[in-house]
C-alpha cells in the first residue's frame, strides 16, 4: 500500500474539478440543443461551469502558495 503524496492528491483533485467543469458545459450545450430558445437552465449550467473554473484556479493557487 503506497502512501499518497500531496502532488498526487492535488492532481486528482484538479482533474476531478476539470471533469466536472466539462460536464457542466456539456449540460449547457445539451439544454441549448434540445430547445429552440436559450433556456434559463442552459445559462445556469454555464454559470456552474464558470464557477468550477474559478474553483480550479483557487485550488491551484492554494496548493502552490509559498512553493513558487
pTM: 0.82
Model pLDDT for residues 31-57, shown as the tens digit of each residue: 888 876 667 888 999 999 999 999 999
In the predicted structure, residue 68 carries a pLDDT above the cut 70 = no
Domains of the chain by residue range: 17-62
Burial 27-60 (b: 16+ CB within 10 A, else e): bbeebbeeeeeeeeebeebbebbeebeeebeeee
Say if residues 28 and 42 touch (Cβ distance below 8 Å). yes
Amino acid at each position: 500500500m503506497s502512501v499518497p503524496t500531496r502532488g498526487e492528491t492535488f492532481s486528482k483533485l484538479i482533474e476531478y474539478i476539470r471533469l466536472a467543469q466539462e460536464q457542466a458545459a456539456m449540460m449547457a450545450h445539451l439544454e441549448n440543443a434540445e430547445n429552440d430558445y436559450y433556456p434559463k437552465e442552459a445559462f445556469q449550467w454555464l454559470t456552474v461551469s464558470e464557477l468550477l473554473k474559478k474553483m480550479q484556479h483557487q485550488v491551484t493557487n492554494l496548493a502552490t502558495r509559498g512553493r513558487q
